[in-house]
Structure 1
Amino acid sequence: MAPDRPSLRRRLFVQLSPRQWPAEGMSPANKMIGLLILFSVGVATLESEITIYAGNEGIFRTLELLLGGIFLAEYLTRIWVAPEADPDGPAWRARLRFIVSPAGILDLLALSPLLLEDLGPQAFLLRFARMLRILRFARLGQFSGAFAFLQEALASRRHELVLGVCVAGGLLVLSATLLYVVEGDAQPEAFGSIPRSMWWAIATLTTVGYGDVAPITWFGRVCAGFIAVLGIGLIAIPTGILAAAFSDAAQQQRIRKEAARKAHGHHHGEPHQ
């Protein structure tokens, strides 16, 4: 007798939930949603350019309504299929759990431009609505195992990363304090306080070097050169930590896949009694 066909809600749940999809990669539904998210981000980006937006307001509004309607249907579908994650519990609890989850809140925020743009023509509301539309790009992380891989890599080196941030913060304050002492009298507008010197320290330690603020005394330039060299090492520290984290996570993932493959082959290779 053929097994019972899964219900429509179950099939949609498997399509929309990355952890439930049995094959590698993203499900067809999530691939389509991901492409639509990328398209909507592109539309929101182009809309911020007045020379492109002017004269094409109707096209952009139509696209936003169409994309918003699709994402609204997807959001409601995710609420509907949420009980499949906990079949033994009450449906309302599973749906509420999804609505208040980070993924559900992000989905709702990404839909809010539809409402915000109807509240009025205020420029700040339009800019805020566009910013929320860009949040749709962050939702791509929900659809791929690569996001879990990234989380695993960062979590494995969290202590080293925190230490690196602390070292960077201490070096930032120290550099700003040093230039405040050395250059404060010569350039009070740029180095007259430690907070004012922070801008120069950030631009120098990150090796950006805008050049809008620079020391003019000989001792200040010597200190600035030393700090600039330290900035190269400062950038290398988190880069090395992240590279090692990704390497370790990739190796662990390969080991797990190899073990799963061997277990699968051993299971199917056992002779039947």
Structure 2
Amino acid sequence: MNKAAIYRQLAPEARKQNGLSVLNQVIGVLILLASLTAILETEPTLRASAPWLFPTLETIFVVVFIIEYLLRLYSIGEDPRYRGLSGRFRYIFSFWALVDLMAILPYFLGFMVHDNAFLVRLLRLLRMLRLARLGRFSQAWSGLADALHSRSYELWLSAGVAGLLLLFSSCCLYVVEAAAQPEAFGSVPRALWWSIATLTTVGYGDVTPITALGKFFAGLTAVAGIGIIAMPTGILAAAFSDAFQKKRNHPDG
């Protein structure tokens, strides 16, 4: 198989036919299997029952993904943007190439952190970054990116309003509750935890105001939280609707 044929098999945008190539379908299945393996590996009883199984599967997956990465690097010159040595370096630092690399690196880093339980757990979870690689095979991913970009101003504005409201409610609860509950509301950063849990409507209940004025401000914060959650939700819903409608009307655009 020549370089152009490999490129057509690996790059969805290079195919004239609809759908994924057989090779990309196989890669997609392997990504799902590798991610499922990483999830199951976090269960100690499964690791203990077959201590050889997960390392063996992980090695097989990594070898396949390294071969895929090298084939992509070899054939990417068919894309005019990445021709030549400088083009290859540009591709290596492109978004999807970095995602591919981040999905492989945890395997090799795992050999260096055997004595650190926290890092071992972190690396096991990082292997699930492979799921992000499915984005390159999906038009929905580009629709999501378009939607977020088209409403970036409104989203940043809503994030700013949420931040100001968090800070304001934290300051209010600090003023009225600090004397009664110094451990929970003795500073603005301490009160911020309560504000986050309330404004996001999570409401853990581990910290609650006990003064009359504190309960009053807490009620205002809780009501405001409904609007804070609804604002970005509405913005994103409208953006997704516009983006996917545009995709349907202009499938080749």
TM-score, normalised with respect to structure 2: 0.93
For the aligned residue pairs, the C-alpha RMSD in angstroms reads: 1.9
Corresponding residue for residue 184 of structure 1:
178
- Identity of matched residues, %: 49
Looking at CA atoms only, which structure, 1 or 2, has the larger radius of gyration? Answer: 1
- Given that residues 76 and 82 in structure 2 are in contact (C-alpha distance below 8 angstroms), is that contact kept between their aligned partners in structure 1? no
CA distance in 1, matches of 2:249, 2:240: 14
- Given that residues 26 and 144 in structure 1 are in contact (C-alpha distance below 8 angstroms), is that contact kept between their aligned partners in structure 2? no
Please point out which of 50, 53, 63 is paired with 2:47. 53
Please point out which of 243, 247, 250 is paired with 2:241. 247
> Letter of the aligned partner of 1:105 in structure 2?
L
- Given that residues 25 and 145 in structure 1 are in contact (C-alpha distance below 8 angstroms), is that contact kept between their aligned partners in structure 2? no
Tell me if 1:35 matches 2:15: no
1:117 match: secondary structure: helix
Corresponding residue for residue 8 of structure 1:
2
- Given that residues 82 and 91 in structure 2 are in contact (C-alpha distance below 8 angstroms), is that contact kept between their aligned partners in structure 1? no
Corresponding residue for residue 94 of structure 2:
101
CA distance in 2, matches of 1:87, 1:150: 24
Structure 1 range deviating more: 27-36 or 73-82: 27-36
Structure 1 range deviating more: 47-56 or 80-89: 80-89
CA distance in 2, matches of 1:205, 1:88: 47
Please point out which of 78, 100, 118 is paired with 2:111. 118
CA distance in 2, matches of 1:55, 1:251: 50
> Letter of the aligned partner of 2:69 in structure 1?
Y
2:114 match: secondary structure: coil
CA distance in 2, matches of 1:108, 1:79: 12
How much has 1:88 moved relative to structure 2?
9.4
Unpaired stretches in structure 1, ≥5 consecutive residues: 1-6, 261-273
Please point out which of 59, 63, 66 is paired with 2:60. 66
What is the aligned length? 252
TM-score, normalised with respect to structure 1: 0.87
CA shift in 2, pair 1:152/1:70, >3 Å: same
Residue deviations 1:239-264 (CA, integer Å, cap 9, x gap): 1000110111122222214xx6xxxx
How much has 1:106 moved relative to structure 2?
1.9
Aligned residue runs from structure 1 range 1-273, under 5 A = 8-86=2-80, 89-90=83-84, 92-122=85-115, 123-257=117-251
How much has 1:89 moved relative to structure 2?
4.1
CA shift in 2, pair 1:62/1:85, >3 Å: same
How much has 1:120 moved relative to structure 2?
4.9
Residue deviations 1:201-230 (CA, integer Å, cap 9, x gap): 000000000111111112211211121111
Residue deviations 1:136-164 (CA, integer Å, cap 9, x gap): 11111122111111111111111111111
- Given that residues 116 and 125 in structure 1 are in contact (C-alpha distance below 8 angstroms), is that contact kept between their aligned partners in structure 2? no
CA distance in 1, matches of 2:114, 2:68: 28
Residue deviations 1:163-220 (CA, integer Å, cap 9, x gap): 1110111111111111111111110101011100110000000000011111111221
Structure 1 range deviating more: 155-164 or 24-33: 24-33
- Given that residues 76 and 83 in structure 2 are in contact (C-alpha distance below 8 angstroms), is that contact kept between their aligned partners in structure 1? no
CA distance in 1, matches of 2:123, 2:229: 34
> Letter of the aligned partner of 1:111 in structure 2?
I
Unpaired stretches in structure 2, ≥5 consecutive residues: none
Report runs of 4+ in structure 1 exceeding 3 Å deviation: none
